[in-house]
Structure 1
Amino acid sequence: MTFLDSFLIRAALAGVGVALAAAPLGCFVVWRRMAYFGDATAHAAILGVAVSLAFSMSVFTGALVMALIMAIAVSTLSGRGYAMDTLLGVLAHSALAFGLVAVSFLQGVRIDLMAYLFGDILAVSRADLGVIWGGAVLVLALLWWRWSALLTSTLNPDLAYAAGIDPKREQLVLTMALAVVVAVAIKVVGVLLIAALLIIPAAAARPFAATPERMGLYAAIAGIGSALGGLQLSFAYDTPTGPTIVCVAAGLFAVASLVSMVRRGVQG
């Protein structure tokens, strides 16, 4: 038996891969207050799943394409007469509804809709692992390459312009990275929980990080701990794995918030 023959080993590697990709990106989502943007992109992925099955394409390809289309649509329509939260709410829920309706029209295709909505990490195959880790490496390489420019445009767009950095271009980089993370995370936590895996580890790391780089590192540690802890608890208590991973992340956030409040109380 080889190392990857165990479904638990494959599941653990998948969780670690998604956590590594989501953690630094999640920091930018938190800094830029893009939580609803992540939701809208993730919800569009279910429509991508329907398109993939209808045309016998890879689910990853369909989800990635639809996530990119949604992200670009949001970026294009923002500032054109609608408040951002209203626009994101309309697009996110519309994309999810159209995706669910489209899936119902597929004839002769067996589909476990719950697996796409909430993830099915225990069913990750070797091919899925290749896609997940390939996507994670791509996202990490993209963020490593653009880290300074992304950080400058996030903290102060005017300063970015003065330094010769185009904030709109950096927004597009984030959009592309977010679409890739959504596409690779579907198998692990599903479209309804992807935003949680992006936001919660980064939010838990924020009170303890003195620099943006440390926040990214701590978020990665929190994300990996959530994935592995959720997987172990799910296996032990026979609970849904994707939601259990998010529950562990929420627990870490609660502990981090409590520790932060205690520290502020002692210092005050």
Structure 2
Amino acid sequence: MSQQIVVGVDGSPAAAAAVEWAADDATRRGRDLRIVHVCEQWSQNQGTEHCEGALEAAADIARGLATGVKVTTELLTGNVVERLIAESATADGIVLGSRGLGGFTGMLLGSVSSAVAGHAAGPVVVVRAPQRAQHGRVVAGYDGSEHAQAAMQYAVEQARSRHARLHVVTAWQVPSLSPYGVAYAQLIEQIMEEQPRRARELVEPWRTANPDLVMTDEQPCDHPATALIRAAETADLVVVGSRGRGGFASALLGSISHAVLHHATCPVAVVRPPAEKDA
């Protein structure tokens, strides 16, 4: 993996916000910054002026913000999702706007950002809008799974580079026992006592391994997506695994990461284990 961050742009406001985030991140973590625009066939048929203009505008933003960072640009052709996923194979991370213009069109989240977050080889950060307020807090969703461990490692690095607190959310839910809930009252009570304890124990090795970080944690009895979206209200970044186990139910992207991407107001990083490949 190279020491460069790749940001995909298309001239939209969300893409400009992604460039700002990527420039700040590259400065903090000492990475090079590579800006790419994928000029799809429909754009080429109309000329490449728009593509070149989007790339040049993004580069101007980055060079004005990224102090001491090497900034390079490249105009790519082909399918935007496929090219960005290919870029992720050799990048330290991919940064995208939540939705955009042209090839970046989509719904609330955007078809491109959603697809890339589900298939990229490394971290994908999705930025909705410029973030002016700073909270000094990175939030990580954690359930102990392989994906969550990769997410935690990225969250630790982000918190350290920002000199920020790392807040770990391990949400859990009481299993549905209806219509026999009364008969299982004692079991429910036991679960209510044991689950928070087990959740806290998951975080302890990370706290021990990173004594330089201020690390807080919570174990809410709530749906994981709800808990993370709530925590995102006072976070500079939320980090989740692309999928997990238990409350972090599995899918290619994962229901939890998908919900957080759609509803969190701050930037969201989706992380897959480095060795994992799509089937």
Q: TM-score, normalised by structure 2?
A: 0.23
Bigger helix fraction: 1
Greater length-normalized contact order (CA 8 Å, ≥ 6 residues apart): 1
From the CA coordinates, give the structure whose radius of gyration is larger.
2
The structure that is strand-richer by fraction is: 2
